[in-house]
C-alpha cells in the first residue's frame, strides 16, 4: 500500500519537467474542399487572368454601369488608329510595332544611327587649309568648274544643262560650292529647277495656243469678210521693221503674260494704222505678205471689172468698205507714180 502515492507522484510532472518538455502542437484543421467552401465561410472570388478563365465567358456588366477603364500604363487597343488617323501607309507601318514603347525605341535608335552619319559643316571662318582638307574628306571637288561638272554630269561627258540654260543657276552653283554642299545636293536642286521650268513652259505654251485661237475667232466674227485683208495689213505693217525688231514685237508679252500680237485690240489697232499708212497692205496675194505694184493693179482691175455691169455697179455703191478700198488703192498708185 505504501507504493501507491509514489506512483501518483510519478504521474504528476514537476515544474522543472514541464518547462523542459515542448508543448504539444495543436492538431491541424481538416483541409477545406476545393469545390465547396468551409461551412459558414463566404465563397472566394473567382480567379481571372488578363485573358480570362479558359472556356469561361466574362461576366456581363451590370445595367447602366460604365465600362471599365484600362488599367494605368496599359494603352488602348486602337493607339495605332489614333496616331495614323486616315493615313493607310502609316497605319500599315505602325503594325510592325506591338506597343508605343517599341515604336519609340525604334525611332530613337534610327535617329541615333542617322545622327552618327551626319558630318559637321564647314565653318564660315575656315582657313584655306581647313577648307581643302574638308573638301577632300567629303569628296567635293575643290575647283568650281569641276564641281559643276560633277554635279550636273549627264553620264556621257556632258551636262544636263547647256551653258545658256545654266546661266540663271550659275549664282546658285557658286554658292553651293562656297558652302561646300555635296554635288548631289546641287544636282537635286538643279533637277527640281528643270522640272519646274519645264512645267511652266508647257503651261505657258498651252495658254498661248488657247489665247491665239480665241483671238482669231473674235477677229473673224468682227471683221467677217475683211478678216484676211486686215490680217494681211497687220503683217505688212510688221514687215516694215528690221528682223531684230520683229523678233522683239513677236515675243513681247503684257503684264498678264499674253503675247501682244495675240491680243485682239492690238491687232485691230495695227490693222487700222496699216490701212491708213498704206492701203495696198490689205491686198492679199497668195494668202499673206505685203503687196507689190502688180497686185495693186490687179486688185484695181478686179474692182473696176465688177462695176461694168448694172448689178455689179449697184453692189459697189452699196459696199462702203469696197469703195474705201478702191479709193485707197487709187491713192497709193498715184503716190507711187509721183515717186
The rounded distance, in Å, linking the Cα atoms of 137 and 205 is 46
Per-residue pLDDT in tens (0 to 9) along the chain, 339 residues: 444 444 444 444 544 454 444 444 445 555 554 455 555 555 555 555 445 555 555 566 666 666 666 556 555 568 888 898 899 999 898 889 888 888 898 888 887 776 655 566 777 788 889 888 888 888 899 999 999 988 888 777 777 877 777 888 889 999 999 999 999 999 999 889 888 888 998 999 999 999 999 999 999 999 988 888 888 888 888 888 899 999 999 999 999 999 999 999 999 999 888 877 776 666 554 444 445 566 778 888 888 999 899 898 889 888 888 887 788 778 777 766 655
| Inter-CA distances, 274 with 49, 52, 277, 290, 327, Å | 99, 98, 5, 11, 15
Grid coordinates representing 311 are 448689178
Q: How far apart are CA 320 and CA 315, in angstroms?
A: 10
Q: For 88, what's the count of Cα atoms within 13 Å in the CB-facing half-sphere?
A: 0
Helix (H, G, I), strand (E, B) or coil at 259: strand
Amino acid at each position: 500500500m505504501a507504493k501507491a502515492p509514489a506512483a501518483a507522484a510519478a504521474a504528476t510532472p514537476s515544474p522543472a519537467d514541464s518547462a523542459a518538455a515542448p508543448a504539444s502542437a495543436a492538431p491541424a484543421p481538416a483541409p477545406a474542399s476545393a469545390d465547396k467552401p468551409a461551412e459558414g465561410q463566404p465563397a472566394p472570388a473567382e480567379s481571372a487572368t488578363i485573358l480570362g478563365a479558359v472556356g469561361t465567358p466574362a461576366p456581363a456588366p451590370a445595367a447602366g454601369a460604365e465600362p471599365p477603364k484600362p488599367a494605368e500604363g496599359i494603352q488602348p487597343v486602337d493607339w495605332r488608329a489614333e496616331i495614323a488617323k486616315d493615313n493607310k501607309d502609316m497605319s500599315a507601318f505602325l503594325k510592325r510595332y506591338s506597343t508605343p514603347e517599341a515604336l519609340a525605341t525604334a525611332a530613337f535608335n534610327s535617329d541615333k544611327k542617322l545622327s552618327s552619319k551626319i558630318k559637321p559643316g564647314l565653318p564660315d571662318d575656315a582657313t584655306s587649309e581647313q577648307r581643302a582638307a574638308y573638301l577632300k574628306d567629303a569628296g567635293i571637288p575643290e575647283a568650281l568648274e569641276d564641281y559643276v561638272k560633277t554635279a550636273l554630269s549627264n553620264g556621257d561627258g556632258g551636262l544636263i544643262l547647256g551653258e545658256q540654260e545654266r546661266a540663271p543657276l550659275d549664282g546658285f552653283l557658286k554658292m553651293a560650292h562656297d558652302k561646300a554642299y555635296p554635288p548631289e545636293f546641287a544636282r537635286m536642286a538643279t533637277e527640281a529647277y528643270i522640272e519646274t521650268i519645264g512645267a511652266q513652259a508647257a503651261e505657258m505654251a498651252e495658254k498661248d495656243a488657247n489665247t491665239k485661237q480665241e483671238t482669231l475667232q473674235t477677229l473673224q466674227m468682227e471683221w467677217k469678210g475683211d478678216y484676211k485683208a486686215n490680217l494681211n495689213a497687220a503683217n505688212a505693217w510688221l514687215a516694215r521693221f528690221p528682223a531684230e525688231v520683229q523678233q522683239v514685237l513677236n515675243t513681247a508679252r503684257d503684264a498678264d503674260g499674253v503675247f501682244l500680237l495675240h491680243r485682239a485690240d492690238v491687232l485691230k489697232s495695227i490693222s487700222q494704222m496699216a490701212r491708213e499708212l498704206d492701203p495696198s497692205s490689205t491686198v492679199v496675194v497668195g494668202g499673206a505678205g505685203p503687196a507689190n505694184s502688180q497686185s495693186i493693179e490687179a486688185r484695181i482691175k478686179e474692182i473696176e471689172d465688177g462695176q461694168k455691169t448694172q448689178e455689179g455697179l449697184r453692189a459697189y455703191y452699196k459696199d462702203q468698205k469696197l469703195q474705201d478700198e478702191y479709193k485707197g488703192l487709187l491713192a497709193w498708185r498715184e503716190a507711187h507714180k509721183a515717186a
